[in-house]
Amino acid sequence: MKIKLIFLIGITLFLLFPPTLLAGKIVTAKGISFFEPGRELIARDKAIDEAKRAALEQAIGSTVESQTTVENFTVIKDQILSRTAGYLKNIKVIEEKKTGMGTYEVLIEADVETSAMIEDLDRFKKVLSWQKNPRISILIDQDTDKSYLPAAHKSAALLTDKLKQGGFTVYKHSKGQESRMGLLVSLSLELSSKQSSYQNIDLSVNEISLSANIYRPDDGEILGTATAVKSLPGENKLKVLDDGAKHCIDSIWADLRSKLVKVWEKELYSERDINMVIKKIPSHARALEISNIFKSDVSGMLDSNLVNFKNGTAEFNVKYKGWPEHLLNEIQMSYFKKKYFNPAVESVEGNKIIISIN
């Protein structure tokens, strides 16, 4: 009975997922390279590399056609094509020749792992979405007077609506997740009142000021600010605060939006030091090898240095152009996991990343 059940499961899997789908997409492609006498081997290697790219490009085209339309497809395709080794296997040279035109031609057959490619296409799309949709979190300045907090929170809600309508992605502020938020906007609300007299009538004149400071979460450096002031008469301080704060949000919106976009574009790929801790490394030599892998095969990596290795745990100082989440996204891609190692993320706090090797 058990054997029969296994047989039925096997037949079902075969029908649902044929071997060609499980193995990937088998393609043939040609690569051509010019050569000089005595340098045929170099030309052959170049022709094979061109054939690999051509094979992958075929698979990318059919894969994307079967998926939803991808914006900035050229950018994504270039990223995929630069990593042929991560998606091609069982590469066979089925024909090669030198021509009278001074070229070396190679025809290959290769198995393209389309499932891995689709996974990485999604990751590249995610990176592009970060570029187009600045990620913001709003918080109230901790020095804000407690009696002003209701008006401050209303202001934050109003600003959140404006940001969402403007194409920004807004996260609820969480201290432990700041590194994933991109930029923080801190709102500060103040009220000053004074009495004046006009034709023997006592009046209360209130000045409401609102400041929005843009800063990065890891070091708190203020990268831009937008401010507004509104004067309103009235004895009801809560109503005055609500009305004045709303007016200030409307007043700073255009300036704040412009500054957020500019700061985001600058910060998205600014150089930063990241502390990377990797556990379960078998040897010091392997730790050094990983440092070299980062330098040679991780885009945006400016430098990588092993600063400590003890009991299978290595600590690296890396200089990287991008957010820590960008770096994690790349080393979690299928091509990287197949070629080097499979990272399991333990924590991300500010510019410190802790992972282990599976």
Side-chain-side CA neighbours of residue 137 (13 Å): 19
pLDDT at 265: 77
For domain 135-267, the CATH architecture is 2-Layer Sandwich (3.30)
Q: Among 25-39, 153-167, 174-188, 253-267, whose mean pLDDT is lowest?
A: 174-188
Q: What is the CATH number of domain 271-357?
A: 3.30.70
pLDDT at 113: 80
- Give tens-digit pLDDT for 83-130: 666 778 888 999 999 888 888 999 999 888 877 777 777 777 666 666
**Contact (Cβ atoms closer than 8 angstroms) between residue 179 and residue 351:** yes
Q: Sketch the domain layout of the chain as residue ranges.
A: 16-131, 135-267, 271-357
Does position 37 have pLDDT exceeding 70, yes or no?
A: yes
Q: Among 78-92, 134-148, 220-234, 333-347, whose mean pLDDT is lowest?
A: 78-92
pLDDT at 9: 36
Tokens of 84: 């042929």
How many Å separate Cα 262 from the centre of its chain? 18
Q: What is the pTM of this model?
A: 0.55
Does position 67 have pLDDT exceeding 80, yes or no?
A: no
Matching fold, domains 16-131 and 135-267: no
Q: What is the CATH number of domain 16-131?
A: 3.10.129.140
Helix spans in 204-300 (H): 237-268, 284-297
pLDDT at 105: 93
Q: Among 81-85, 152-156, 175-179, 343-347, whose mean pLDDT is lowest?
A: 175-179
Tokens of 306: 């092993």
Residue 32, amino acid: I
Ramachandran class of 193: left when φ > 0, alpha when ψ lies in -120 to 50, beta otherwise: beta
Question: How sure is the predictor about 277, in pLDDT bands with cuts at 50, 70 and 90?
Answer: very high
Question: How sure is the predictor about 205, in pLDDT bands with cuts at 50, 70 and 90?
Answer: confident
pLDDT, the chain, mean: 81
